[in-house]
Amino acid sequence: MASLFKIPLTQLDKIGSKKAEQFSKLGIGSIGALLRFYPRTYEDWSRPCKIAEAPRCENVCIRGTVESAKPPARIRGNMTIFRVTVTDGDSRMTVTFFNQKYTYDRIKSGGDFIFYGMLKASAHDYEMASPQVEEPSMAAIRPIYQQTAELSSRQIEKAVRQAVAMLPEKTNDPIPQHIREEFGLCDLGFAIKNIHFPSDHNACELARKRLVFEELFVLQLGVGLRSSDRLNVTPQNITADYTKEFLSLLPYKPTNAQQRVIGQCITDMKSTCRPMNRLIQGDVGSGKTAVAAAICHTAAKNGLQCAFMVPTEILAEQHFQSLSGLFAGTGLNIALLTGSTKQAAKKQILSGLKSGSIDIVIGTHALISDNVEFSRLGLVITDEQHRFGVAQRAALNSKGRYPHIIVMSATPIPRTLALMIFGDLDLSVIDEMPPGRKPTDTYLIDSEKRSRLYGFIRKHITNGNQCYIVCPLVEQNDSELVSAEEYAERLDKTVLSDCRIGILHGRMKPAEKDRIMSAFAAGEIDILVSTTVIEVGVNVPNATIMVIENAERFGLSQLHQLRGRVGRGSDKAYCIMVSDASSQATLERLKVMCSTNNGFTIADEDLRLRGPGDFFGTRQHGLPELRTAKLTDMVSVEAAREAAQKLLANDPELSQREHAPLKFEVARLFNNTGGA
């Protein structure tokens, strides 16, 4: 397998240098990397169901015969529409296509097809809009890949199909045979073939089980190799505690929990035995930023350079503002570095970091890039850790000589998993909210109540408060969803036309996002219609209403994060989830939100309702290289950890010859920030 990482994609049919360039944007630079680019999910075309029995609100696969087709008619502008009636022998459905003359030509003469899409039922009919259509021979489990604007999942699928054919008969398996036997794992060749093109559900599950194990195993080996490193170093220990001075800068009194956690970190940094490695968990709004600020303050006063990494520019900007404010007059030099920092300013910051004149830098992924060098990096804090990968954090940590490490998380991570991800680490919990917080009242409504909702919003805006409205990301085939732009336009033209409405979405330029966010923070915007870009960290205490449209589209932890954007000040806050979902499971999930504000309870419920598999699948773990969509169970985590420890006990440096493929995988995981 390792040799396939040396073969460029241009070896494949129909892939020239331009296409190869598009693949490289996904971090795929070789045949090997392509094979390791696992599907995000699958579409099950293998088991078509009956029209009358098909579930609602999710994509389904229906096999049927085209009975009648009306030719495309123009409806407006260049848009054409045509409808066909399809029968499965028992029931009929009407299928509508827009702008798809070629599909019409394909299916007008009748015949058998598979239709893959969302089925809606009205009083007398079943309807499907813009499904994908294939011949019955395509009835298989089909891979869906993460796509880009230039590269569709289907194009990736074609390339992968060729790459799979290039796999040697016998692959050099990184997992030693005795471990595979012990844990009942299939070999690498089978796994790669079946993760992309599963012959059936069982094969897919086997492949996934093995790849998950492999990833955890390799990860644990890497973490193990590193932490044994860290045990034998002299830490950059500090001698003085400046917490008291810091507290005099803080405009409020810290909670006991905040003080305790600050104390734990300072004790860690004073230790002469080993560098700090600590996970701080605290529910949304528990005040993690102030804790991070206190630790940076003391570390910097002791001469350590500090890096504070956050996942979005909005959040970086906001932390920078609040820390700059706090530290004005302390003599500490603080800088902000993001992807949109202007060239001239950037040059200055890079030189300041290298010379050591900058004490604290706050930034996004930009902090990881090669040209960022520090003179004496001694503390690395990662906020919202689940947004980063192991490799990304490792890249930042490696810019200093065994710096102290803090990762912060709003989601409780099971202890075993935390050990897997972070190595041997200590845990602090901020288990107390700042005083005066009132729980956010949460309601679930359906779209019929929307006009009342708008009245409610207006009332609060008249009172001087602000409101977020979150719409899910619009993906292809989501014909029922409205984009944030359209939504905002609707509000603006109709019911809430007298309010100041702003839009925020992921495709906007960072500078533009900042402008909108600052305007919202300054109270110049009443209603911010946005995608989930505001999910993490953003802090505008005057915003008191969070509306979440199509709430069924979000996982519990994500809903909790979104709700955490309000209820940050002393005013009573409300979260209103709008959903027309009818599935019992979905309703149960959403109702959990109405019954509690406690993030830990919610995470537990999330785990209970969806099973640990999905929990890991939602990227709460910070393992982006874990490309296998979900983790089957906790047992894998512990098994992989145990197996890795055993192996390292035997071969602490992975220097034995038969472990060469393993060493290759460890290097691949830890050296790549992108995961190629």
For residue 92, give both structure tokens: 């009929």
**One residue of 62, 69, 284, 314 binding ligand ADP per CB under 6 A:** 284
Q: For residues 552 and 468, give the distance between their C-alpha atoms in angstroms, rounded to a whole number.
A: 17
**One residue of 103, 220, 264, 286 binding ligand ADP per CB under 6 A:** 286
- Among the listed residues 86, 127, 124, the one whose alpha carbon sits nearest the alpha carbon of residue 108: 86
64 binds, among Mg ion, ligand ADP, none (CB under 5 to 8 A by kind): none
Shortest spacing between CB 606 and Mg ion, in angstroms: 20
Is 257 near ligand ADP (CB under 6 A)? Answer: no
Is 563 near ligand ADP (CB under 6 A)? Answer: no
Helices 313-327 and 288-301, packing angle to 10 deg? 60
Sign for the CA dihedral angle at 314, 318, 321, 327 comes to negative
The answer to whether the CB of 250 falls within 8 A of the CB of 290 is yes
Residue 632: what residue type? Answer: T
HSE, CB side, 13 Å, CA atoms: give it for residue 188: 22
**One residue of 537, 555, 599, 675 binding Mg ion per CB under 5 A:** 537
**One residue of 196, 288, 404, 663 binding ligand ADP per CB under 6 A:** 288
Shortest spacing between CB 268 and Mg ion, in angstroms: 21
Site size toward ligand ADP, by CB under 6 A: 17
Which own/partner contact pairs does 23-27 have at CB distance under 8 Å and 24+ positions apart? 23/151, 23/156, 23/159, 24/676, 25/148, 25/150, 25/151, 26/146, 26/148, 26/151, 27/672, 27/674, 27/675, 27/676
Is 263 near ligand ADP (CB under 6 A)? Answer: no
Shortest spacing between CB 362 and Mg ion, in angstroms: 12
Site string for ligand ADP, 523-552 (x = CB under 6 A): --------------x-x-x-----------
Is 172 near ligand ADP (CB under 6 A)? Answer: no
Q: Taking CA 295 as the corner, what is the angle to CA 289 and CA 298, rounded to the nearest 5 degrees?
A: 140
Shortest spacing between CB 166 and ligand ADP, in angstroms: 48
Q: For residues 462 and 444, give the distance between their C-alpha atoms in angstroms, rounded to a whole number.
A: 23
287 binds, among ligand ADP, Mg ion, none (CB under 5 to 8 A by kind): ligand ADP
Q: For residues 610 and 555, give the distance between their C-alpha atoms in angstroms, rounded to a whole number.
A: 9
Q: For residues 383 and 525, give the distance between their C-alpha atoms in angstroms, rounded to a whole number.
A: 27
568 binds, among Mg ion, ligand ADP, none (CB under 5 to 8 A by kind): ligand ADP
| CB-based burial, 528-562: b 16+ in 10 Å, e otherwise | bbbbbbbbbbbbbeebbbbbbbbbbbbbbbbbbbb
Site size toward Mg ion, by CB under 5 A: 2
Helices 599-617 and 584-595, packing angle to 10 deg? 140
Nearer to ligand ADP, 255 or 312 (CB): 255
Sign for the CA dihedral angle at 410, 416, 421, 422 comes to positive
Q: For residues 120 and 126, give the distance between their C-alpha atoms in angstroms, rounded to a whole number.
A: 6
Shortest spacing between CB 568 and Mg ion, in angstroms: 10
Question: Which residue's Cβ has the minimum distance to ligand ADP?
Answer: 287
Is 387 near ligand ADP (CB under 6 A)? Answer: no
Site string for Mg ion, 429-468 (x = CB under 5 A): ----------------------------------------
Q: For residues 622 and 215, give the distance between their C-alpha atoms in angstroms, rounded to a whole number.
A: 13
**One residue of 27, 189, 414, 434 binding ligand ADP per CB under 6 A:** 434
Is 364 near ligand ADP (CB under 6 A)? Answer: no
Q: Which residue has the tokens 């109540």?
A: 449
Question: Which of left, alpha, beta for 374 (phi over 0: left; psi -120 to 50: alpha)?
Answer: beta
Q: Which part of the chain contacts ligand ADP (CB under 6 A), choosing from 180-188, 252-260, 361-369, 645-653?
A: 252-260
Q: Which residues on neighbouring strands pair with residue 61, listed in sequence order?
A: 116
Shortest spacing between CB 407 and ligand ADP, in angstroms: 13
Shortest spacing between CB 602 and ligand ADP, in angstroms: 14
The answer to whether the CB of 407 falls within 8 A of the CB of 279 is yes
DSSP-derived letter for residue 653 is T
Backbone φ and ψ of 140, nearest 5°: -150, 175
Q: Which part of the chain contacts ligand ADP (CB under 6 A), choosing from 107-115, 149-157, 248-256, 600-608?
A: 248-256
The answer to whether the CB of 55 falls within 8 A of the CB of 47 is no
**One residue of 117, 285, 412, 502 binding ligand ADP per CB under 6 A:** 285
Site string for ligand ADP, 566-585 (x = CB under 6 A): --x-----------------
Nearer to ligand ADP, 572 or 610 (CB): 572
Q: For residues 472 and 627, give the distance between their C-alpha atoms in angstroms, rounded to a whole number.
A: 23
Q: Which part of the chain contacts ligand ADP (CB under 6 A), choosing from 63-71, 280-288, 363-371, 593-601?
A: 280-288
The answer to whether the CB of 128 falls within 8 A of the CB of 93 is yes
State which of positions 186-205 bind ligand ADP (CB under 6 A): none
Pairing of strands 466-470, 543-548: parallel
H/E stretch holding 75 reads strand 73-76
Q: Which residues on neighbouring strands pair with residue 549, listed in sequence order?
A: none
Shortest spacing between CB 388 and ligand ADP, in angstroms: 16
The answer to whether the CB of 133 falls within 8 A of the CB of 114 is yes
Q: Which part of the chain contacts ligand ADP (CB under 6 A), choosing from 139-147, 288-296, 343-351, 517-525?
A: 288-296
Nearer to ligand ADP, 21 or 252 (CB): 252
DSSP reduced 3-state for 214: helix
Nearer to ligand ADP, 97 or 520 (CB): 520
Question: In the chain, what are the helix, strand and coil shares in percent, each to the nearest 5?
Answer: 45, 20, 40
Site string for Mg ion, 282-301 (x = CB under 5 A): ------x-------------
Q: Which part of the chain contacts ligand ADP (CB under 6 A), choosing from 249-257, 303-311, 457-465, 659-667?
A: 249-257
The answer to whether the CB of 73 falls within 8 A of the CB of 79 is no
Nearer to Mg ion, 288 or 627 (CB): 288
601 binds, among ligand ADP, Mg ion, none (CB under 5 to 8 A by kind): none
Site string for Mg ion, 210-239 (x = CB under 5 A): ------------------------------
Nearer to ligand ADP, 216 or 284 (CB): 284
- Which residues of this chain interact with Mg ion, rule CB under 5 A? 288, 537
- Which residues of this chain interact with ligand ADP, rule CB under 6 A? 252, 254-255, 258, 282, 284-290, 434, 537, 539, 541, 568
